[in-house]
Amino acid sequence: MKLGTIHLSLSLMIGVAGLDAAHAQGDLRQACETFAGIDVPRRAISLRTSEITVTSAVQVPASSRTTDDSGDIVLELPSHCRLQGEIGPVDPDAPPVRFNVNLPDDWNGKALHSGGGGLGGTLNTAPGQKAFGRFDPQPYDDTYPLTEGYVTFGGDDGHPRGDVEFIYNDEALRNWAGDSLKKTRDVAVWLIERAYGRAPERLYFSGESAGGREAVFVTQRFPGSYDGAIAVTPVLDWTYIHIADNRIRSKLLEGWLDEDAIALIADRTRAACDADDGLVDGIIGRYMECRMDSQSLRCPDGATGRGCLSDAQVESLDAIREPWSTTVPFAYGVDRFPGFGVTGDEDNPDNQYSFYMVGTTPPTHPVPPGRGTQPGLGAILNFGVIWVRHGIAQDEGFEPHRFYPPAHTERIQYLSGLFDRCHRPGPLRVPRAAWEADHPPAVRR
């Protein structure tokens, strides 16, 4: 489904307001700060937790259009009550799940739960965080859901950003996989009922990239908890993809794709497929159908040369673009990494290979100790290291170069069972779902 189709679905979901709850809303403006310190009863959450507390309650005045530090335009936001708090773990060694709930003064009777991105850890819908106002794929000039009267809320996936220690705790790992979504949702509904005197008439989930995986996940595991889902570029087959990311890193150690190599790949790809959509304009409109043989880029003797790729570089390109599989049987029928395919803008300086697939600095060997990530390296390569070292091997000193999956079959199958439940996106068991078929580099085809 293309972006315009999703926008139509968003209009259907977001464009209706005017429910009669003025009596409760008028009280909310006066009572917002009294929510601070409230303990939410554990029975409000269907999954096991310990103490649940609202740690902050602030009545936020309406704000006008402005520009943030990154240059993005932030549209008007209405007066609303912002609640933040923590959902305590059962295991005292696990971090809490933090949540943020924005309660508009003029509520339309609906709520929107927003997912996260990357490896999680941001307090989604909180000021300056993902989906605070706009959420993908909403056009930049569209009125925000909060302004339309939606309650908006989100969580941090049960761990702080940048942390990897939580991966070694099973409750925290399960929170990241999806349990935190249900916990956050249940707390938000309880707070909505307390604020307005009734539950939402409609409750939707939206997410992009890793949050898109979460959108699919909740439709599969918690279908009765949502009335619709918007899944944009979902990163499905999470476990397989991040093992493949690590494999790409290993290939790049021997066949680094520098700026010249990436420019060559992009130029030849556009030359091969640009005209397929009927317009030669530097954009490959039918990129899903583009087939460009990497061997056509090979230097005659396979050694490093100008205007061509060495054998090792061709292997790196194939690791990025082509399908790959291991003998380990994954959960839910996941049977391969399908490859990231082609885009035709591999040389885009703001994303693509310089940001996601390759980076601007060659990978090191051995991998740096601890977290294992490396500045300047492609984002998915760092994701792969974290997943293999901390998620699978569970060893902060593990060297992921040339990782051999069959040696870790049991752990891989356990992780796949947690994270890959969303592998088959249909049939969705919710009344309405919107999908966006285009994919960023981290997404399976």
Residue 152 sits in a domain whose CATH number is 3.40.50
pLDDT at site 146:
96
pLDDT at site 349:
85
289 and 336 in a single domain? The answer is yes
Do the Cβ atoms of 407 and 327 come closer than 8 Å? Answer: no
Length of the chain, in residues: 445
- Do the domain assignments include residue 445? no
Distance (Å, rounded) from C-alpha 50 to C-alpha 341?
45
352 and 379 in a single domain? The answer is yes
Q: From 52, 168, 160, select the one nearest 116 (Cα to Cα).
A: 160
- What is the total count of domains within the chain? 2
pLDDT at site 4:
35
pLDDT at site 66:
86
Distance (Å, rounded) from C-alpha 374 to C-alpha 382?
7
221 and 277 in a single domain? The answer is no
Report the predicted TM-score, pTM, of the whole model to 2 decimal places: 0.87
pLDDT at site 29:
85
Q: Which helix (H) or strand (E) holds 280?
A: none
Do the Cβ atoms of 404 and 243 come closer than 8 Å? Answer: no
Mean pLDDT by 10 residues, the chain (445 residues): 34 32 60 95 95 97 86 88 98 97 97 94 91 81 93 96 94 97 98 96 95 93 93 91 98 97 96 94 92 93 94 98 96 92 90 92 94 95 97 97 97 96 54 47 46
223 and 109 in a single domain? The answer is yes
pLDDT at site 68:
76
The domain in which residue 104 lies consists of 3-236+423-436
pLDDT at site 250:
97
